[in-house]
C-alpha cells in the first residue's frame, strides 16, 4: 500500500539479488536498525555529557571544557577514551563474578528500552504492542544490578548505596507506572506509536501535557528519581557515601555505570516527549503542507522531509528536557532519604492515584477530548 521509501524492502531485495534466500536477507537486516539506535544512543550520551559540563560551568560562572575541539566538544570523547584505557581493578576481597555482572545488568535493560522509542511513524526498531509497558518492566531489572554491584564490592558505602538505589527505584516506579497508565487509558493503547498519533490530531493543543499536567510533573519527578539525578542522587551521594555503589569501580566497568546513567536520562527525556509533548509531532501538519504545494505524501522528498522533521522534533523536545534536568542538577540541593521516601509514598503515590481516577472519570464524561 505504501509506495514510498521502504529501506527494509530495498535492502532485502538487494541481498536477494546477490543470490541469498529471503530469510538470510531478513536476518542480515535485523541488526542494522538496532546498531543505528545503539550508535545514536551513545552519541546522545556524548552530547549530554558535553552539555552537562558546559551548563554546569555556566551555572557556576566557569568556562568549562575548552581545549578539546571547538567549545570543548570533543571532551566527552576524551573522557570515554580515558575510561577505556584505564586499568580494570577488581578489589581483592570483592566477589569478582557479581562485580562484573552488576554493571552489565544495569546497562543492558536501559539499552533494550530504546527498542520502543519512536522517532517517526515508522522510525522505530519495533512497534511492539506492549510498548511502554516493556520499558517499565525492563527498568525494574536495573535495581538488581545495582544491588549486585553494591553487595559484591564488599564495601559498606557500596552496600548502602546499592540498598538506597533499590529502595528509591522501587518506590518511584509505582507513581511512574500510574502516570503512564493514565496516558495509556487516554490513548487506548500501550504502543508508543499510537500514543504519539493520538496526540497529533490538533497540533500543539492536543499534546498530552494539557490533559495530564499533574501526570507530567509526576512522571518527570519519578524519571529523575529513577535516573538518580540530583535532587534524587542519594545512591551516590558523594558527601555521605563516597560514590555509593560505584565506589570500588574503575575503568570500563565504571564507564558502564556512567553510560547507563546518561542513556537512561536521554531515554527518560525521549519518553517524556513521546508521552506528553507529542513525540515527533510538528505544530503544522506536513501532509497538509505537502498537499498545499501539490506533492503526494508518498513522494520520496516529502517522506524524507517528514522523517527528518520527526527526528528533529523528538530530539529537540528531549534535549530541552535534558537541559532542564542538567539545570536542576546544578541548582538544587539533595533531599534526605526520609524526605525522598515521604515524597514518593505519601505524596506522589496518592496524587497519581487521584490523577488516574480523575482521568478515568473525565474519559467517561468527555470521551471526545479524553479518548473514548
Partner 1 sequence: MTIAYSTELICFLILSAVIVSGSLAVVLLENIVYSAFLLGGVFMAVAGLYLLLNASFVAAAQILVYVGAVNVLILFAIMLVNKKEKLKPIEGLVTRKLLSGGICGGLLILLLRVSITTKWNLPGPTSIGEEATDRIGEHLFTDYLLPFELASILLLMAMIGAIVLARRDISSTEDEVKNLKNQKSLIEKKIPLLSENSLK
The residues binding partner 1 (CB under 8 A) are 23-24, 27, 98, 128-130, 133-134, 136-138, 140-141, 143-144, 147-148, 150-151, 159, 162-163, 166-167, 170, 173, 190
Nearer to partner 1, 105 or 196 (CB): 105
3-state secondary structure of 253: helix
Minimum CB distance to partner 1, residue 256 (Å)? 18
Minimum CB distance to partner 1, residue 130 (Å)? 5
Nearer to partner 1, 98 or 362 (CB): 98
Nearer to partner 1, 140 or 299 (CB): 140
What phi, psi does 237 have (nearest 5°)? -55, 105
Nearer to partner 1, 300 or 350 (CB): 350
Closest CA to 25 of 7, 13, 37: 13
Nearer to partner 1, 20 or 36 (CB): 20
Integer Cα distance of 298 and 3 in angstroms: 6
Minimum CB distance to partner 1, residue 97 (Å)? 9
Minimum CB distance to partner 1, residue 141 (Å)? 6
Q: What are 193's three cell numbers?
A: 506509536
Could you write out the DSSP letters of every residue in 273-294? Answer: HHHTS-TT--SS-HHHHHHHTT
Could you write out the DSSP letters of every residue in 39-83? Answer: HHHHHHHHHHHHHHHHHHHHHTT-----SSSGGGTTHHHHHHHHH
Nearer to partner 1, 133 or 289 (CB): 133
Minimum CB distance to partner 1, residue 311 (Å)? 26
- Measured CA distances, 82 to 47, 119, 256 (Å): 17, 32, 13
Minimum CB distance to partner 1, residue 272 (Å)? 20
For the beta carbon of residue 367, count every other beta carbon within 10 angstroms: 10
Q: CB of 351 within 8 A of CB of 218?
A: yes
Minimum CB distance to partner 1, residue 116 (Å)? 11
Integer Cα distance of 5 and 168 in angstroms: 45
Could you write out the DSSP letters of every residue in 125-157? Answer: S---TTHHHHHHHHHTTHHHHHHHHHHHTT-HH
Nearer to partner 1, 134 or 325 (CB): 134
Q: CB of 276 within 8 A of CB of 207?
A: yes
Minimum CB distance to partner 1, residue 324 (Å)? 27
Q: CB of 263 within 8 A of CB of 196?
A: no
Greatest CA separation found in the chain? Answer: 71
Nearer to partner 1, 141 or 252 (CB): 141
Amino acid at each position: 500500500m505504501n509506495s514510498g521509501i521502504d529501506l527494509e524492502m530495498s535492502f532485502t531485495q538487494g541481498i536477494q539479488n546477490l543470490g541469498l534466500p529471503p530469510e538470510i536477507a531478513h536476518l542480515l537486516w535485523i541488526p542494522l536498525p538496532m546498531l543505528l539506535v545503539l550508535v545514536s544512543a551513545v552519541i546522545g550520551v556524548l552530547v549530554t555529557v558535553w552539555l552537562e559540563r558546559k551548563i554546569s560551568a555556566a551555572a557556576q560562572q566557569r568556562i568549562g571544557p575548552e581545549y578539546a575541539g571547538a567549545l570543548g566538544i570533543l571532551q566527552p570523547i576524551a573522557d570515554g577514551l580515558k575510561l577505556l584505557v584505564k586499568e580494570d581493578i577488581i578489589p581483592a576481597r570483592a566477589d569478582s563474578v557479581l562485580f562484573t555482572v552488576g554493571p552489565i545488568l544495569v546497562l543492558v535493560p536501559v539499552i533494550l528500552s530504546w527498542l520502543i522509542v519512536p522517532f517517526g511513524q515508522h522510525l522505530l526498531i519495533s512497534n511492539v504492542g506492549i510498548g511502554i509497558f516493556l520499558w517499565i518492566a525492563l527498568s525494574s531489572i536495573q535495581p538488581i544490578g545495582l544491588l549486585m554491584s553494591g553487595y559484591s564490592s564488599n564495601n559498606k558505602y557500596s552496600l548502602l548505596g546499592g540498598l538506597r538505589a533499590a529502595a528509591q527505584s522501587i518506590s518511584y516506579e509505582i507513581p511512574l507506572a500510574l502516570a503512564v497508565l493514565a496516558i495509556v487509558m487516554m490513548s487506548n493503547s500501550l504502543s508508543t506509536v499510537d500514543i504519539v498519533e493520538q496526540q497529533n490530531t490538533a497540533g500543539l493543543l492536543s499534546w498530552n501535557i494539557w490533559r495530564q499536567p499533574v501526570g507530567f510533573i509526576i512522571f518527570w519527578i519519578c524519571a529523575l528519581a529513577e535516573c538518580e539525578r540530583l535532587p534524587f542522587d542519594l545512591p551516590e551521594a558523594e558527601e555521605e557515601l563516597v560514590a555509593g555503589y560505584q565506589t570500588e569501580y574503575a575503568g570500563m566497568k565504571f564507564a558502564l555505570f556512567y553510560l547507563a546513567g546518561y542513556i537512561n536520562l536521554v531515554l527518560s527525556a525521549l519518553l517524556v516527549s513521546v508521552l506528553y509533548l507529542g513525540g515527533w509531532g510538528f505544530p503544522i501538519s506536513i501532509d497538509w503542507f505537502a498537499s498545499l504545494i501539490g506533492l503526494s505524501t508518498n513522494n520520496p522528498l516529502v517522506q524524507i522531509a517528514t522523517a527528518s522533521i520527526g527526528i528533529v522534533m523528538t530530539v529537540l523536545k528531549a534535549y530541552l528536557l535534558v537541559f532542564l534536568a542538567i539545570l536542576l542538577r546544578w541548582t538544587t540541593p539533595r533531599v534526605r532519604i526520609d524526605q525522598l521516601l515521604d515524597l514518593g509514598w505519601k505524596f506522589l503515590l496518592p496524587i497519581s492515584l487521584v490523577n488516574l481516577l480523575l482521568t478515568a472519570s473525565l474519559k467517561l464524561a468527555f470521551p471526545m477530548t479524553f479518548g473514548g
